[in-house]
Structure 1
Protein backbone atom coordinates (compact mmCIF):
# COMPACT_ATOMS: atom_id res chain seq x y z
CA UNK A 1 0.00 0.00 0.00
CA UNK A 2 2.97 2.25 0.64
CA UNK A 3 4.05 2.10 -3.00
CA UNK A 4 0.57 1.92 -4.53
CA UNK A 5 -0.54 5.44 -3.60
CA UNK A 6 2.63 7.22 -4.85
CA UNK A 7 2.53 5.15 -8.04
CA UNK A 8 -1.09 6.08 -8.73
CA UNK A 9 -0.34 9.73 -7.93
CA UNK A 10 2.59 9.63 -10.35
CA UNK A 11 0.44 8.25 -13.17
CA UNK A 12 -2.29 10.84 -12.56
CA UNK A 13 0.24 13.68 -12.70
CA UNK A 14 2.01 12.15 -15.70
CA UNK A 15 -1.24 11.95 -17.65
CA UNK A 16 -1.80 15.69 -17.16
CA UNK A 17 1.80 16.51 -18.04
CA UNK A 18 1.64 14.46 -21.22
CA UNK A 19 -0.70 17.02 -22.76
CA UNK A 20 1.91 19.74 -22.24
CA UNK A 21 4.64 18.00 -24.26
CA UNK A 22 4.80 18.43 -28.03
CA UNK A 23 4.56 15.28 -30.12
CA UNK A 24 7.97 16.04 -31.66
CA UNK A 25 9.65 16.12 -28.25
CA UNK A 26 8.01 12.83 -27.28
CA UNK A 27 9.36 11.21 -30.45
CA UNK A 28 12.84 12.57 -29.73
CA UNK A 29 12.57 11.15 -26.20
CA UNK A 30 11.58 7.74 -27.61
CA UNK A 31 14.45 7.84 -30.10
CA UNK A 32 16.82 8.68 -27.26
CA UNK A 33 15.46 5.70 -25.34
CA UNK A 34 16.06 3.29 -28.21
CA UNK A 35 19.54 4.48 -29.12
CA UNK A 36 20.43 4.80 -25.45
CA UNK A 37 19.49 1.15 -24.99
CA UNK A 38 21.70 0.18 -27.92
CA UNK A 39 24.59 2.25 -26.56
CA UNK A 40 24.16 0.73 -23.10
CA UNK A 41 24.23 -2.77 -24.54
CA UNK A 42 27.42 -2.11 -26.48
CA UNK A 43 29.11 -0.44 -23.51
CA UNK A 44 28.05 -3.23 -21.15
CA UNK A 45 29.57 -5.86 -23.43
CA UNK A 46 32.75 -3.86 -23.95
CA UNK A 47 33.29 -3.07 -20.24
CA UNK A 48 32.29 -6.47 -18.81
CA UNK A 49 29.24 -5.01 -17.07
CA UNK A 50 30.75 -1.90 -15.49
CA UNK A 51 27.80 0.21 -14.30
CA UNK A 52 29.39 3.58 -15.00
CA UNK A 53 30.40 2.69 -18.55
CA UNK A 54 26.94 1.25 -19.20
CA UNK A 55 25.38 4.55 -18.15
CA UNK A 56 27.91 6.53 -20.20
CA UNK A 57 27.19 4.31 -23.22
CA UNK A 58 23.48 4.98 -22.85
CA UNK A 59 23.95 8.74 -22.72
CA UNK A 60 26.54 8.68 -25.52
CA UNK A 61 24.27 6.64 -27.81
CA UNK A 62 21.37 9.03 -27.38
CA UNK A 63 23.62 12.09 -27.69
CA UNK A 64 25.16 10.87 -30.95
CA UNK A 65 21.80 10.21 -32.57
CA UNK A 66 20.45 13.53 -31.26
CA UNK A 67 23.38 15.45 -32.72
CA UNK A 68 23.04 13.60 -36.02
CA UNK A 69 19.32 14.37 -36.24
CA UNK A 70 19.75 18.04 -35.39
CA UNK A 71 22.57 18.33 -37.92
CA UNK A 72 20.24 16.98 -40.60
CA UNK A 73 17.51 19.38 -39.44
CA UNK A 74 19.90 22.34 -39.57
CA UNK A 75 20.49 21.74 -43.27
CA UNK A 76 16.80 21.98 -44.13
CA UNK A 77 15.14 25.27 -45.02
CA UNK A 78 11.86 24.86 -43.16
CA UNK A 79 13.49 23.18 -40.18
CA UNK A 80 16.45 24.19 -38.07
CA UNK A 81 18.60 23.29 -35.12
CA UNK A 82 16.51 22.92 -31.97
CA UNK A 83 18.22 22.59 -28.60
CA UNK A 84 14.97 21.40 -27.00
CA UNK A 85 14.83 18.44 -29.39
CA UNK A 86 18.43 17.59 -28.56
CA UNK A 87 17.71 17.85 -24.83
CA UNK A 88 14.69 15.53 -25.17
CA UNK A 89 16.79 12.97 -27.03
CA UNK A 90 19.59 13.06 -24.44
CA UNK A 91 17.04 12.87 -21.62
CA UNK A 92 15.72 9.67 -23.20
CA UNK A 93 19.19 8.14 -22.97
CA UNK A 94 19.63 9.31 -19.38
CA UNK A 95 16.34 7.72 -18.32
CA UNK A 96 17.31 4.42 -19.93
CA UNK A 97 20.71 4.53 -18.22
CA UNK A 98 19.12 5.14 -14.82
CA UNK A 99 16.49 2.46 -15.44
CA UNK A 100 19.11 -0.14 -16.39
CA UNK A 101 21.16 0.71 -13.32
CA UNK A 102 18.16 0.51 -10.97
CA UNK A 103 16.60 -2.68 -12.25
CA UNK A 104 19.64 -4.76 -13.25
CA UNK A 105 21.00 -7.38 -10.93
CA UNK A 106 24.55 -6.87 -9.79
CA UNK A 107 27.24 -9.39 -8.88
CA UNK A 108 29.65 -9.26 -5.93
CA UNK A 109 31.79 -6.56 -7.55
CA UNK A 110 28.67 -4.41 -8.22
CA UNK A 111 28.93 -5.13 -11.94
CA UNK A 112 25.81 -5.75 -13.99
CA UNK A 113 24.84 -9.38 -14.46
CA UNK A 114 23.07 -10.87 -17.43
CA UNK A 115 23.17 -10.06 -21.11
CA UNK A 116 21.15 -8.12 -23.58
CA UNK A 117 22.10 -10.56 -26.33
CA UNK A 118 23.82 -13.91 -26.73
CA UNK A 119 26.65 -12.35 -28.73
CA UNK A 120 29.97 -12.56 -26.91
CA UNK A 121 32.41 -10.02 -28.32
CA UNK A 122 35.32 -11.12 -26.12
CA UNK A 123 35.33 -14.77 -27.18
CA UNK A 124 37.10 -15.54 -30.43
CA UNK A 125 35.38 -18.19 -32.48
CA UNK A 126 36.88 -20.41 -35.10
CA UNK A 127 34.71 -20.58 -38.19
CA UNK A 128 34.94 -23.63 -40.39
CA UNK A 129 35.35 -22.78 -44.03
CA UNK A 130 33.55 -25.20 -46.35
CA UNK A 131 35.69 -26.79 -48.99
CA UNK A 132 34.19 -27.10 -52.42
CA UNK A 133 35.36 -29.23 -55.29
CA UNK A 134 34.43 -29.07 -58.93
CA UNK A 135 34.09 -32.58 -60.27
CA UNK A 136 34.54 -33.32 -63.97
CA UNK A 137 33.72 -36.88 -65.02
CA UNK A 138 35.28 -38.17 -68.26
CA UNK A 139 35.83 -34.66 -69.56
CA UNK A 140 32.11 -33.77 -69.29
CA UNK A 141 30.28 -31.64 -66.78
CA UNK A 142 27.94 -33.51 -64.40
CA UNK A 143 24.28 -33.77 -65.34
CA UNK A 144 21.53 -32.04 -63.44
CA UNK A 145 20.56 -35.33 -61.79
CA UNK A 146 24.06 -35.64 -60.38
CA UNK A 147 23.77 -32.16 -58.91
CA UNK A 148 20.47 -33.08 -57.25
CA UNK A 149 18.28 -31.21 -59.72
CA UNK A 150 15.57 -32.73 -61.84
CA UNK A 151 16.04 -32.44 -65.58
CA UNK A 152 12.27 -32.57 -66.19
CA UNK A 153 11.86 -28.83 -65.69
CA UNK A 154 14.93 -27.86 -67.69
CA UNK A 155 14.26 -29.72 -70.92
CA UNK A 156 14.96 -27.52 -73.93
CA UNK A 157 14.05 -28.69 -77.41
Structure 2
Protein backbone atom coordinates (compact mmCIF):
# COMPACT_ATOMS: atom_id res chain seq x y z
CA UNK A 1 0.00 0.00 0.00
CA UNK A 2 1.42 3.36 -0.95
CA UNK A 3 2.13 5.97 1.67
CA UNK A 4 0.06 8.53 -0.21
CA UNK A 5 -3.08 6.44 0.12
CA UNK A 6 -2.68 6.34 3.91
CA UNK A 7 -2.63 10.09 4.37
CA UNK A 8 -4.70 12.79 2.75
CA UNK A 9 -2.71 14.62 0.12
CA UNK A 10 -2.76 17.93 1.98
CA UNK A 11 -0.72 16.42 4.83
CA UNK A 12 1.83 15.13 2.36
CA UNK A 13 2.08 18.55 0.72
CA UNK A 14 2.38 20.38 4.05
CA UNK A 15 5.04 17.92 5.24
CA UNK A 16 6.96 18.37 2.01
CA UNK A 17 6.77 22.16 2.39
CA UNK A 18 8.14 21.94 5.94
CA UNK A 19 10.93 19.71 4.65
CA UNK A 20 11.82 22.25 1.99
CA UNK A 21 11.76 25.06 4.53
CA UNK A 22 14.17 23.17 6.76
CA UNK A 23 16.71 22.84 3.95
CA UNK A 24 19.43 25.48 3.80
CA UNK A 25 17.85 27.14 0.78
CA UNK A 26 17.55 30.36 2.72
CA UNK A 27 21.33 30.68 2.89
CA UNK A 28 21.33 32.43 -0.48
CA UNK A 29 19.01 35.15 0.79
CA UNK A 30 19.67 37.77 3.38
CA UNK A 31 18.34 36.76 6.77
CA UNK A 32 16.43 40.04 6.93
CA UNK A 33 14.48 39.17 3.77
CA UNK A 34 13.57 35.75 5.18
CA UNK A 35 12.26 37.44 8.33
CA UNK A 36 10.23 39.87 6.23
CA UNK A 37 8.80 36.99 4.17
CA UNK A 38 7.86 35.15 7.38
CA UNK A 39 6.23 38.27 8.82
CA UNK A 40 4.33 38.66 5.55
CA UNK A 41 3.03 35.09 5.72
CA UNK A 42 1.91 35.49 9.33
CA UNK A 43 0.18 38.82 8.76
CA UNK A 44 -1.23 37.53 5.48
CA UNK A 45 -2.74 34.49 7.20
CA UNK A 46 -4.41 36.73 9.77
CA UNK A 47 -5.69 39.08 7.07
CA UNK A 48 -7.01 36.19 4.98
CA UNK A 49 -8.86 34.79 7.98
CA UNK A 50 -10.44 38.15 8.81
CA UNK A 51 -11.42 38.81 5.18
CA UNK A 52 -12.80 35.27 4.85
CA UNK A 53 -15.04 35.82 7.86
CA UNK A 54 -16.23 39.25 6.76
CA UNK A 55 -16.90 38.29 3.14
CA UNK A 56 -18.58 34.97 3.84
CA UNK A 57 -15.89 32.91 2.12
CA UNK A 58 -15.36 34.97 -1.04
CA UNK A 59 -12.04 33.86 -2.50
CA UNK A 60 -11.12 37.24 -4.00
CA UNK A 61 -11.60 39.04 -0.71
CA UNK A 62 -9.60 36.31 1.04
CA UNK A 63 -6.59 36.93 -1.21
CA UNK A 64 -7.07 40.71 -1.07
CA UNK A 65 -7.16 40.55 2.74
CA UNK A 66 -3.95 38.56 2.78
CA UNK A 67 -2.10 40.92 0.45
CA UNK A 68 -3.45 44.05 2.14
CA UNK A 69 -2.54 42.96 5.66
CA UNK A 70 0.97 41.97 4.60
CA UNK A 71 1.33 45.29 2.76
CA UNK A 72 0.24 47.20 5.86
CA UNK A 73 2.65 45.22 8.04
CA UNK A 74 5.48 45.88 5.58
CA UNK A 75 4.70 49.59 5.35
CA UNK A 76 4.55 49.89 9.14
CA UNK A 77 7.91 48.13 9.52
CA UNK A 78 9.58 50.20 6.84
CA UNK A 79 8.16 53.42 8.29
CA UNK A 80 9.60 52.39 11.66
CA UNK A 81 12.96 51.61 10.04
CA UNK A 82 12.94 54.99 8.29
CA UNK A 83 12.20 56.79 11.55
CA UNK A 84 14.55 54.79 13.76
CA UNK A 85 17.44 53.93 11.42
CA UNK A 86 16.98 56.36 8.50
CA UNK A 87 16.70 53.50 6.03
CA UNK A 88 13.73 52.53 3.87
CA UNK A 89 14.24 49.34 1.84
CA UNK A 90 11.80 48.52 -0.94
CA UNK A 91 13.18 44.98 -1.17
CA UNK A 92 12.14 44.36 2.44
CA UNK A 93 8.66 45.62 1.60
CA UNK A 94 8.55 43.38 -1.47
CA UNK A 95 9.58 40.34 0.59
CA UNK A 96 6.82 41.05 3.11
CA UNK A 97 4.16 41.44 0.42
CA UNK A 98 5.41 38.32 -1.38
CA UNK A 99 4.89 36.38 1.85
CA UNK A 100 1.30 37.63 1.99
CA UNK A 101 0.66 36.74 -1.64
CA UNK A 102 2.05 33.23 -1.23
CA UNK A 103 0.04 32.43 1.90
CA UNK A 104 -3.10 34.00 0.41
CA UNK A 105 -2.94 31.77 -2.65
CA UNK A 106 -2.11 28.72 -0.53
CA UNK A 107 -5.05 29.31 1.81
CA UNK A 108 -7.32 29.88 -1.18
CA UNK A 109 -6.30 26.59 -2.79
CA UNK A 110 -6.96 24.58 0.37
CA UNK A 111 -10.18 26.47 1.18
CA UNK A 112 -11.64 25.86 -2.28
CA UNK A 113 -11.03 22.13 -1.94
CA UNK A 114 -12.76 22.12 1.42
CA UNK A 115 -15.74 24.10 0.10
CA UNK A 116 -15.99 21.87 -2.98
CA UNK A 117 -16.06 18.73 -0.82
CA UNK A 118 -18.65 20.30 1.49
CA UNK A 119 -20.86 21.26 -1.47
CA UNK A 120 -20.60 17.77 -2.96
CA UNK A 121 -21.57 16.30 0.39
CA UNK A 122 -24.58 18.62 0.69
CA UNK A 123 -25.77 17.72 -2.79
CA UNK A 124 -25.45 14.02 -1.95
CA UNK A 125 -27.36 14.43 1.32
CA UNK A 126 -30.06 16.48 -0.40
CA UNK A 127 -30.56 13.80 -3.04
CA UNK A 128 -30.88 11.16 -0.33
CA UNK A 129 -33.37 13.31 1.54
CA UNK A 130 -35.64 13.37 -1.50
CA UNK A 131 -36.22 9.66 -0.99
CA UNK A 132 -36.18 9.90 2.79
CA UNK A 133 -39.93 10.53 3.08
CA UNK A 134 -40.86 7.39 1.15
CA UNK A 135 -38.27 5.38 3.09
CA UNK A 136 -39.74 6.60 6.37
CA UNK A 137 -43.22 5.59 5.23
CA UNK A 138 -41.94 2.10 4.35
CA UNK A 139 -40.58 1.71 7.88
CA UNK A 140 -43.89 2.76 9.44
CA UNK A 141 -45.76 0.19 7.32
CA UNK A 142 -43.51 -2.62 8.56
With the shorter chain as reference, the TM-score category is 0.5 to 0.7
Which of 20, 39, 45 is residue 37 of structure 1 equivalent to?
45
Decide which structure has greater helix share: 2
Moved over 6 A (4+): none
Q: CA deviation at 1:15?
A: 3.4
How many residues are treated as equivalent by the alignment? Answer: 104
Q: Take 2:24 and 2:41, find their aligned partners in 1: how far apart are those partners?
A: 22
Q: Take 1:83 and 1:65, find their aligned partners in 2: how far apart are those partners?
A: 13
Residue correspondence of structure 1 range 73-92 to structure 2 within 5 A: 73-77=81-85, 79-92=86-99
Deviation string 1:112-138 (CA, Å, 9 cap, x unpaired) is xxxxxxxxxxxxxxxxxxxxxxxxxxx
TM-score (norm 2): 0.63
Residue correspondence of structure 1 range 1-157 to structure 2 within 5 A: 11=20, 15=23, 17-77=25-85, 79-104=86-111, 105-107=114-116
Q: CA deviation at 1:51?
A: 0.3
Deviation string 1:45-86 (CA, Å, 9 cap, x unpaired) is 110000000000000000001001001101124x51001100
Q: CA deviation at 1:11?
A: 3.8
Report the RMSD for the aligned CA atoms in angstroms. Answer: 2.8
Q: Take 1:41 and 1:97, find their aligned partners in 2: how far apart are those partners?
A: 10
Deviation string 1:87-146 (CA, Å, 9 cap, x unpaired) is 1100110011011011121249x9xxxxxxxxxxxxxxxxxxxxxxxxxxxxxxxxxxxx
Note the residue ranges of structure 1 that are not aligned, 5 or more in a row.
111-157
Secondary structure at the residue paired with 2:84? coil
Q: Take 1:11 and 1:90, find their aligned partners in 2: how far apart are those partners?
A: 21
